[in-house]
Amino acid sequence: MCGIAGFLTSEPWQDRRGILRRMTQALRHRGPDDHGEYLDESVALGARRLRVIDVATGRQPIANEDGTVQVVLNGEIYNFKALRARLERSGHRFRTSSDAEVIVHAYEDAGEACVRELDGMFAFALWDATRRTLLLARDRMGEKPLYYHAGPDAFVFGSELRAVLECPDVPRRLDLASVSRYLLFECIPAPSSILSDVSKLPPAHVLTVAPGAKPHLEPYWTMRFAPDHSPTESEWVERLRAQLETSVRSRLVSDVPLGALLSGGVDSGTVVALAAAATGHGRFRTFSVGFAPPSYDERRFARLVAEHCGTEHSEILFTAQHAIALMEQVGELLDEPLVDASFLPRYALARAARRSVTVVLSGDGGDELFCGYPTFLADRPARALGGALPPTALRRLDALVSRLPSSGQYGSVDFLLKQFVRALPYSPAVRTQLLLGGLVPADQADLLSPAVRAELDGFDAYDELARMIDDTGLTDPIERMIYQHARFYLADQTLVAADRATMAVGLEARSPLLDHALVELAGRIPSRLKLAGWTTKHILKRAAADLLPVTITDRRKQGLGVPTAMWLRGPLRPLLEDRLGAARIARRGLFEPATVERLITEHVEGHRNHRKVLWALLMLDAWCEHYVPHARWS
């Protein structure tokens, strides 16, 4: 696991080595163990290394036999031993035991198509000195990040935005369209970033660029759905269980201590049960985080799984005081604005786990692939009501549920019902996103300042989302929702939070449920076996039935919810009112001070639950304070 960075120029730069070192130094947290670099007259490649595989000899960049191909890798290639054996039979000579070295030799054989052979989580940059071409690639599901700037004089890339911004040629211009996307998605989906001159390489894409040329972007894989109704349900259970076991085993390869993050749900519980059985009960470590409000605290369920699987279990309690202590650095830690409040406890848990392990497994991906979120349950009634009720009835219903008392409890009925009703009038893709989080168009318009609204005239993030989902060609509502959850919520929010939280402390996180063979298998399982009536993740629960206590498989879905609504009315209220005060909001010029003041007042007085939008504004303010403290948009 590493952080990578570099640039490609058409003309020589002064202080090339110094620029590269500043870029890689910005990523030291991702790779605290070592650093390496390669420079010629056109390209500079740098890596910060976290030693996980081939601790002794796997220093990067890694070259082919004659040094004409150089690669820097962030991530892990899980099938590197099988690839290495095949490449050695073809005559390639290896100098290390590193998984990164298979990339250069596979590239010699297959060119950019080599990426299709890789099973792993990865973002890499490869320089072909003979062809004078730089190749960037990112894994299929988006586990590892990669940012880039394609300027007139240079192409710059890095694992995080902060590394790209160390290059003096990269401007820091806020992309106002991405501010709108942020308020809808609660993140900024690839290929966009928060800055207009920086892009993100989308998952499952390769990019090629030569000095002075425009980059060429191309997908090499896509999530496909081809439901096969011929196997029986029991046969599908057997196939899924076998693939789960294979996926977990492949991610246990490590030359350093390894454990798992455990929430007490089906996804992480399944991963832990299979990993503990494969490594030996009692030797496998698990880590959990909890909260003081009982409705948010899953630690008792995590303990139940840990005891059942015989792991060595640790847990931490995350409080409002811990959140306050992290607020000064959260903008830097996130690297790009992100609304997911679970980032803070994830970071605290990663910091605790790093004291005893270097690698952790997680259960990320199960809810997206197997219909685990409440949004999947809400879709059928939403489609029925949205099409049946006239606009006047929808407005009356909205006014009615708006009067419900606001609760700060996890999964409170009033909050979910208000979100559900407000999402009803919109297209299926937009409705799904609004149920996940984000502002309806009218609320976003009220929040943005007149200057920003004028600048955004003609841009509509909601139409953009609908077009992207329509362009998939998928017609089955469940398949469309699975794709949407995986492409946006998982890749651009959940995995970003996981990557930043773990890599901030030099901890590698692996997600067995995102093994592309498992993802492809899930695409062949009929939707009726994923969402069976009102039972979410039906097929996954059956595949894990003998691995976990029935209390776990039968319990209601609960994500890593954070009691931000309560905290913003209590311990975090002074910080909220300070960071989002009218003078500060006016100085930034992005939002209407009166609207922000109303949102704060309604929330702290308990009239409405505005935790999502208030947290979004706090995270954006924290990011601006670190990266663009003096900028003003008005």
- Domain limits of the chain? 2-219, 233-371+485-553
Least confidently predicted of 193-202, 247-256, 476-485:
247-256
Statement: residue 14 has pLDDT above 80: yes
CATH superfamily for 233-371+485-553 is HUPs (3.40.50.620)
Class for domain 2-219, per CATH? alpha beta
Least confident of 128-132, 262-266, 510-514, 559-563: 559-563
* Interval 444-457 mean pLDDT: 96
- Indicate whether 409 pLDDT > 80: no
pLDDT value, residue 171: 94
Q: What is the full DSSP assignment across 239-308?
A: HHHHHHHHHHHHTT--SS-EEEE--SSHHHHHHHHHHHHHH-TTT-EEEEEE-SSGGG--HHHHHHHHHH
Tokens of residue 72, six digits: 């820097």
pLDDT for residue 388 is more than 80: no
Name the nearest CA neighbour of 6 among 60, 66, 80, 64: 60
Q: Rounded mean pLDDT of the chain? A: 93
Give the pLDDT band of residue 282 (cuts 50, 70, 90): low
Treating both helix axes as pointing N-terminal to C-terminal, what angle do 593-604 and 611-627 enclose, rounded to 10 degrees? 130
pTM here is: 0.95
**What is the model's pLDDT at position 53?**
61
Question: What pLDDT is attached to residue 55?
Answer: 59
Phi, psi of 207, rounded to the nearest 5 degrees: -130, 130
pLDDT of residue 397: 85
- Same topology between domain 2-219 and domain 233-371+485-553: no
Mean pLDDT of 273-302: 89
397-436 as b/e: b if 16+ CB within 10 A: beeeeeeeebbbbbebebbeebbbbbbbbbebbbbbbbbb
Q: Is the pLDDT of residue 33 over 60?
A: yes
Distance CA 162, CA 627 (A): 9
Q: In what order do the strands lie in the sheet with 199-200?
A: 34-39, 43-49, 2-9, 154-158, 147-150, 199-200
Residue 634 scores a pLDDT above 70: no
Which band of pLDDT confidence, cut at 50, 70 and 90, is reported for residue 12? confident
The pLDDT assigned to 161 comes to 97
Is 2 known to be catalytic?
A: yes
Catalytic residue among 2, 167, 309, 371: 2
